[in-house]
A and B are shown apart, each in its own frame.
Chain A
Amino acid sequence: MSPANHKDSEVVLERLFFNNRLFVLLVFALVTVFLGYKMTQVKPETSFMKMIPTEHPFIQNMLRNKDDLENLGNSIRISVEAKKGDIFSAEYMSTLQKITDDVFYLPGVSRSGLKSLWTPNVRWIEVTEDGFEGGPVIPQSYDGTKDSLNRLRENILKSGQIGRLVANDFKSSIIEVPLFDQNPETGEALDYEALSKGLEQQIRQRYNSDIVDIKIIGFAKKVGDLIEGIGSITYFFAIAIGITLVLLLIYSGCFKSAIVPLVCSVIAVVWQLGLLSSLGYGLDPYSVLVPFLVFAIGISHGVQMVNSMGIESSLGADRLTAARRTFRGLYIPGMLALVSDAIGFLTLWVIEIDVIRDLAVAAGIGVAVIIFTNLFLLPILLSYIGVSQRAIRKVQKNRERKTRSWELLSYFSHPIVAPISIVLAIIGFSLGLYWSKDLKIGDLDPGAPELHPDSRYNQDNAFITHNYSTSADVLVTMVETPKEQCSTYATMSAIDQYMWRMENVPGVQSAVSLVTVSKLYIKGTNEGNPKWQTLARNPYVLNASIAQASQLFNTDCSLAPVMVFLDDHKAETLDRVVNATEAFAAEYNTPDLQFMLAAGNGGIEAATNQVIESAQDKMLLWVYGVVSILCLLTFRSLRAVVCIIIPLALTSVLCQALMAWLGIGIKVATLPVIALGVGIGVDYGIYIYSRLESFLRQGKNLQEAYYATLRTTGKAVSFTGVTLAIGVGTWIWSPIKFQADMGILLTFMFLWNMFGALWLLPALARFFVRPERLSTVITVDTQHETDTKKAVA
């Protein structure tokens, strides 16, 4: 870094901004108004496609067969539980009828596929001497009397719906509601938010009573709940602003110095959201967190500015000069820190999941915006407003007082304390590595992993999985054949064999495909005799046997999904199924018969886990590689890199141990934490090391230099750590589970990175930095610096 160049560019930029202050303010105001307007148009977005790794071969297979798999997918299930007794009461049945009618008219519902005890497509069948006999489960003559309720009970028993539409304990029944992804009349995409609201207001709120209890699950409901969760994050933002304001007031002791960084940081958020909206991005559950980061990073830079402004003012400079000096002194390290943040975020790009890439973009834009609002706008504003006399006095007082705490902290660089710190760090590393052995890939909790285990959705889900014989976790294998070949004996017996293999895999509950239906049909047409419950070699019999199973193969009979129902969606379970399937495919796949992974939530999670597993190391490599190179470029010293990077690495390892301890898996949501934590965490190291180095160059010994460093930036660094932690700490109360997980981990990383920089960095410096070399070799530079300072003064 050549100071001469800096000076030129600084002068150019400084002149540009400070000689046209009013005009610059006007431009900023106009841009803020425009982007503020844009911001109001930003829409919540939970596109399913963005949350999955669309480039993974599993997902490619799924997307290729999307149309044929459609009727497997998007549906919701409404459980209506009888609070008194069982479902065989006139009161319950009439309520169920009303609910069924209301659900029928909800927008987005595929009415022909709607299933409940009251819909005519739910039938009972019985084998008699004359062949089949059957009818709707609710008899034509139903009138709510005891007799007709008894008929209903018999019909349900004969219908085979126990465990599917009727709970195993007869205390609840289900309304199955298939949805249109696209409205067939208008072609509009399904409005999850409206549907979810409709379900809440017109179904749950209206009918929840002392007669029945409503429970609703399904992908669409989950998305609705997520959108609702995005909304509630606004409150957290307000809380974060409030707490930060209080801390700023305490820190600076001056209203002006508190409000200016706050306003500038809010403007940064407005710009960031406005730009996102202008670029056509929506707010998804991940990118909604970026404003918090932008706000917190903005505040931390703002604090540096205000801090410097106070110091300059206390030295006697007027507002404008103080602001100009502040700008001049901080704009380079500020840019450097922000650029390293941005690069940290951009390494998220290696995760091939759109929602994370959008997060990278949103965070990148946010950081870029901070350069304008907090490095440019803020000093200009300060040049008008200035800081109060109280703040200036506080700075002076601080400078004169030999702060006891900083003195104590400076012992971290002491020749006796430093080795102890290093040993502690090594122990920390070892323990962290040991504990993080238990770290798992993927989601570990049952139910919808996006939401808290005790959220209403997951409670509803637990109720339904407990009382019905269907699992919510399903991995779908697609069996592809040439046209009209899906029902040949060769295909079907291979599928049968595959299903049996799967059922023998631990963690698999059952497998269902057209073979299941075929066998039951053949048994049924043979008077229910189990001796016939197998695939027939006769092609006519086989063809007829799957006629009823239209959902289990596509229209030209070239694709048959096999649904493998699982105990859970833990990575080990998914791995076993994937491995067993791949082994089976290797054995049985021919050009005309392909067993292909994977769809269903299990398939998607298996793919996601694979992407995450491969991205994990790549991302660590990138983020540490890039940050190291950045440090190397800045300080031209490998020793500096070691001093800055090792505390970060310790934090990363401990963060993984924390994840293992809290039972948080490595998943889409937690993978970015490392990149964000390291990208932002490196700032502390950069600030502290750069000051430390400059003091060492002045010829101070290490402990003196570190003490001087702490006195100048220690407060700003610790304040930054706390503001950042508060910004992300509020997420812990988010209704969305992964936001809460991110909150816990990022809070830990921001605080511990700060601690690592204050504690471990000086200890490492004791061993790696040689003050003699710094002070002798670079005296010229120091000389130059003092010269420029004098010149400016």
Chain B
Amino acid sequence: MRVADQVGTSLSKLGLSKVSCIGLTVCLLFALMITALQAKENSMSTPVVFAEPSALAQQKLLIDVTTVGQSGRLVAVGDRGHILYSDDNGNTWQQAKVPTRQLLTAVYFVSAKQGWAVGHDALILATTDGGQTWQQQYKNLTTEAPLLDVWFSSEFEGFAVGAYGQILRTSNGGKSWEDWSDHIENEEEFHFNSITGLKDKREMVIAGEAGIVYYSDNQGMTWQRLESPYEGSLFGVIANGTPHGFVAFGLRGHVFRYDGSLNSWSTIPTHTEQSLFGGQYIVDGRLVLAGNGGVWLISHDYGQQFNLHKQSDRKLVSGITETADGNYILVGQGGIVKNIPQGNDLAIRP
């Protein structure tokens, strides 16, 4: 009340009557209270914070990179909400407008325009302009766990998977996301590290912690757990271009190929003990994988054999894709690196 008194006295000095002074003071206090309350309210609803544009973004941690449909555009996602896109096969990159500064872990495009990215805080972002601007579709702070991968079978139907067995499904292009964990048995709450569709898009595979692999032949309505080839973590799973077949990879250079016709696993030698974190099925039986210590692998035969490459700086790479001009774009700890394939890994152009 001391403040009010002082306000009163100073006002009375200005020649106002005492009554009006009290009235004014009360009004003032009331106004103050309201502003204080409003301020509190504002601070509780956090305003949207966009990723900062930075020339350094392409030299810093990026996790995943993909080629966007037929357009040939490349889109990479990573640390601090950085999403970068390139329309000249990875020579120059622009930074997209992204409403988060969180680490993004995966990106997937279903067409030249429509794509999704997921990340920490269980964020799901979507774009309808080929990756130049992004909107938040989903966020969940309560789980304190990241989403780790996203895959869409059409522009409406898709899944996002993540840590501690999170799985979310949408059937309306991400307008709403539904918790799908009731449809998959994962009592230990192992991480779902990766999800992909197979040659037939109704078929899907999830791979994760402790070697878990799940398979669905009905667009993810129901999932069955496959026998695991490995007790260590699988960080990724990608289709290999054969009917029902796929390749899963993970800790310490382990790569396993699932033969869809024989329903059996085979271990693929990689000649590396570095963990493999990301991969992509390109086309024509060509698969690429990337991992710790700058190692990356190329297969030209649907994943039966891989050729080993190492980045000279030995920095971790976790995302890899092929460009329209037949080169490879790798992303990871040191940002974006463009690689021109050599020897028998020269990409065979159609």
Binding site for B on A (CB under 8 A): 127-129, 157, 497, 500, 503-504, 527-534, 536-538
Please pick, from B102, B144, B233, B316, the residue contacting A530 in the complex, using a CB distance under 8 A. Answer: B316
Categorize the interface residue count of chain B.
35 or more
Contacts beyond the supplied A497-B101, A527-B275: 7 A-B pairs with Cβ under 8 Å: A127-B251, A127-B275, A128-B252, A129-B251, A500-B80, A531-B63, A531-B277
| Closest beta carbon of chain A to B260's beta carbon, Å | 27
B124 at the interface (CB under 8 A from A): no
Q: Mark B31-61, 1 if CB is under 8 A from A, else 0.
A: 0000000000000000000001011100011
Main SS of the interface on chain B? loop
Please pick, from A500, A503, A528, A537, the residue contacting B292 in the complex, using a CB distance under 8 A. Answer: A528
Chain B residues positioned under 8 Å from A529 (CB to CB): 193, 233, 235, 275, 277
**Contact between A536 and B318 (Cβ–Cβ < 8 Å)?**
no
Show 5 A/B contacts (Cβ-Cβ < 8 Å), sorted by A: A529-B277, A530-B63, A530-B277, A531-B63, A531-B148
**Contact between B277 and A534 (Cβ–Cβ < 8 Å)?**
no
Once bound together, how far apart are the Cα atoms of A533 and B232, in whole Å?
A: 20
Chain B residues positioned under 8 Å from A504 (CB to CB): 52, 54-56
Once bound together, how far apart are the Cα atoms of A534 and B193, in whole Å?
A: 16
Chain B residues positioned under 8 Å from A527 (CB to CB): 233, 235, 251, 275
Chain A residues positioned under 8 Å from B105 (CB to CB): 531
- Give 8 nearest A-B pairs by CB, closest first: A534-B103, A129-B232, A531-B105, A538-B144, A537-B144, A530-B318, A504-B54, A527-B233
| Closest beta carbon of chain A to B46's beta carbon, Å | 12
Once bound together, how far apart are the Cα atoms of A688 and B170, in whole Å?
A: 96
| Closest beta carbon of chain A to B320's beta carbon, Å | 13
Once bound together, how far apart are the Cα atoms of A533 and B318, in whole Å?
A: 12
Once bound together, how far apart are the Cα atoms of A531 and B292, in whole Å?
A: 12
Once bound together, how far apart are the Cα atoms of A503 and B59, in whole Å?
A: 11
Chain B residues positioned under 8 Å from A497 (CB to CB): 101
Please pick, from A127, A129, A528, A531, the residue contacting B231 in the complex, using a CB distance under 8 A. Answer: A129
Please pick, from A127, A533, A536, A537, the residue contacting B61 in the complex, using a CB distance under 8 A. Answer: A533
B8 at the interface (CB under 8 A from A): no
Q: Which residues of B (302-334) have their CB < 8 Å from a CB of A?
A: 314, 316, 318, 332-333
The chain A residue sitting closest to B254, CB to CB, is A129
**Contact between B333 and A530 (Cβ–Cβ < 8 Å)?**
yes
| Closest beta carbon of chain A to B188's beta carbon, Å | 16
- With A129-B231, A129-B251, A527-B251 in contact, do A532 and B146 touch (Cβ < 8 Å)? yes
Chain B residues positioned under 8 Å from A129 (CB to CB): 231-232, 251-252
Chain B residues positioned under 8 Å from A538 (CB to CB): 144
**Contact between A503 and B56 (Cβ–Cβ < 8 Å)?**
yes
- With A530-B63, A530-B333 in contact, do A536 and B144 touch (Cβ < 8 Å)? yes
**Contact between B52 and A500 (Cβ–Cβ < 8 Å)?**
yes
B120 at the interface (CB under 8 A from A): yes
Q: Which residues of B (237-274) have their CB < 8 Å from a CB of A?
A: 251-252
Chain B residues positioned under 8 Å from A500 (CB to CB): 52, 54, 80
| Closest beta carbon of chain B to A789's beta carbon, Å | 76
The chain A residue sitting closest to B142, CB to CB, is A537
Please pick, from A127, A128, A528, A533, the residue contacting B103 in the complex, using a CB distance under 8 A. Answer: A533
| Closest beta carbon of chain B to A649's beta carbon, Å | 46
Chain A residues positioned under 8 Å from B61 (CB to CB): 530, 533
B141 at the interface (CB under 8 A from A): yes
Once bound together, how far apart are the Cα atoms of A536 and B106, in whole Å?
A: 18
- With A127-B251, A129-B252, A500-B80 in contact, do A531 and B146 touch (Cβ < 8 Å)? yes
Chain A residues positioned under 8 Å from B318 (CB to CB): 530-531
- With A128-B252, A129-B231 in contact, do A530 and B56 touch (Cβ < 8 Å)? no
**Contact between A534 and B251 (Cβ–Cβ < 8 Å)?**
no
Once bound together, how far apart are the Cα atoms of A127 and B333, in whole Å?
A: 18
**Contact between B275 and A534 (Cβ–Cβ < 8 Å)?**
no
Q: Which residues of B (119-158) have their CB < 8 Å from a CB of A?
A: 120-121, 141, 144, 146, 148
Once bound together, how far apart are the Cα atoms of A527 and B277, in whole Å?
A: 10
Chain B residues positioned under 8 Å from A127 (CB to CB): 251-252, 275
Once bound together, how far apart are the Cα atoms of A536 and B102, in whole Å?
A: 11
- With A497-B101, A527-B275 in contact, do A534 and B54 touch (Cβ < 8 Å)? no
Once bound together, how far apart are the Cα atoms of A128 and B233, in whole Å?
A: 10
| Closest beta carbon of chain A to B78's beta carbon, Å | 9
| Closest beta carbon of chain A to B206's beta carbon, Å | 15
| Closest beta carbon of chain A to B43's beta carbon, Å | 11
Once bound together, how far apart are the Cα atoms of A503 and B148, in whole Å?
A: 27
Chain A residues positioned under 8 Å from B144 (CB to CB): 536-538
Chain A residues positioned under 8 Å from B101 (CB to CB): 497
The chain B residue sitting closest to A538, CB to CB, is B144
| Closest beta carbon of chain B to A488's beta carbon, Å | 14
Looking at A530, A532, A533, the one whose CB has the most chain B CB atoms below 10 A away is A530
Once bound together, how far apart are the Cα atoms of A531 and B120, in whole Å?
A: 9
Once bound together, how far apart are the Cα atoms of A127 and B141, in whole Å?
A: 28
Q: Which residues of B (271-293) have their CB < 8 Å from a CB of A?
A: 275, 277, 292
**Contact between A534 and B316 (Cβ–Cβ < 8 Å)?**
no
Once bound together, how far apart are the Cα atoms of A611 and B327, in whole Å?
A: 55
Please pick, from A528, A532, A533, A534, the residue contacting B102 in the complex, using a CB distance under 8 A. Answer: A534
Chain B residues positioned under 8 Å from A533 (CB to CB): 61, 79, 103
The chain A residue sitting closest to B103, CB to CB, is A534
Once bound together, how far apart are the Cα atoms of A528 and B253, in whole Å?
A: 13
Q: Mark B95-107, 1 if CB is under 8 A from A, else 0.
A: 0000001110110
| Closest beta carbon of chain B to A214's beta carbon, Å | 29
Once bound together, how far apart are the Cα atoms of A332 and B55, in whole Å?
A: 69
| Closest beta carbon of chain B to A623's beta carbon, Å | 46
| Closest beta carbon of chain B to A491's beta carbon, Å | 16
Once bound together, how far apart are the Cα atoms of A528 and B292, in whole Å?
A: 8
Once bound together, how far apart are the Cα atoms of A534 and B148, in whole Å?
A: 13
The chain A residue sitting closest to B78, CB to CB, is A530
Chain A residues positioned under 8 Å from B193 (CB to CB): 529, 531
| Closest beta carbon of chain B to A431's beta carbon, Å | 40
**Contact between B121 and A530 (Cβ–Cβ < 8 Å)?**
no
**Contact between B121 and A537 (Cβ–Cβ < 8 Å)?**
yes
Once bound together, how far apart are the Cα atoms of A530 and B56, in whole Å?
A: 18
| Closest beta carbon of chain A to B317's beta carbon, Å | 9
Q: Mark B74-95, 1 if CB is under 8 A from A, else 0.
A: 0000011000000000000000
The chain A residue sitting closest to B211, CB to CB, is A129
Please pick, from A157, A503, A528, A532, the residue contacting B275 in the complex, using a CB distance under 8 A. Answer: A528
The chain B residue sitting closest to A128, CB to CB, is B252
Chain B residues positioned under 8 Å from A128 (CB to CB): 232, 251-252
The chain B residue sitting closest to A503, CB to CB, is B56
| Closest beta carbon of chain B to A764's beta carbon, Å | 56
| Closest beta carbon of chain B to A495's beta carbon, Å | 13
Once bound together, how far apart are the Cα atoms of A157 and B272, in whole Å?
A: 14
The chain A residue sitting closest to B49, CB to CB, is A497
Once bound together, how far apart are the Cα atoms of A497 and B79, in whole Å?
A: 12
Once bound together, how far apart are the Cα atoms of A531 and B318, in whole Å?
A: 9
Once bound together, how far apart are the Cα atoms of A449 and B130, in whole Å?
A: 53
The chain A residue sitting closest to B231, CB to CB, is A129
Once bound together, how far apart are the Cα atoms of A531 and B332, in whole Å?
A: 10
Once bound together, how far apart are the Cα atoms of A114 and B232, in whole Å?
A: 37
| Closest beta carbon of chain A to B266's beta carbon, Å | 19
**Contact between B231 and A534 (Cβ–Cβ < 8 Å)?**
no
Once bound together, how far apart are the Cα atoms of A519 and B177, in whole Å?
A: 29
Once bound together, how far apart are the Cα atoms of A530 and B316, in whole Å?
A: 8
The chain A residue sitting closest to B62, CB to CB, is A530
Once bound together, how far apart are the Cα atoms of A523 and B314, in whole Å?
A: 17
Chain A residues positioned under 8 Å from B316 (CB to CB): 530
Chain B residues positioned under 8 Å from A537 (CB to CB): 121, 141, 144
Chain A residues positioned under 8 Å from B56 (CB to CB): 503-504
Chain A residues positioned under 8 Å from B277 (CB to CB): 529-531
Once bound together, how far apart are the Cα atoms of A530 and B252, in whole Å?
A: 14
Looking at A128, A533, A538, the one whose CB has the most chain B CB atoms below 10 A away is A533
| Closest beta carbon of chain A to B107's beta carbon, Å | 12
Once bound together, how far apart are the Cα atoms of A534 and B82, in whole Å?
A: 13
Chain B residues positioned under 8 Å from A534 (CB to CB): 79, 102-103, 120
Looking at A529, A534, A538, the one whose CB has the most chain B CB atoms below 10 A away is A529
Once bound together, how far apart are the Cα atoms of A497 and B51, in whole Å?
A: 11
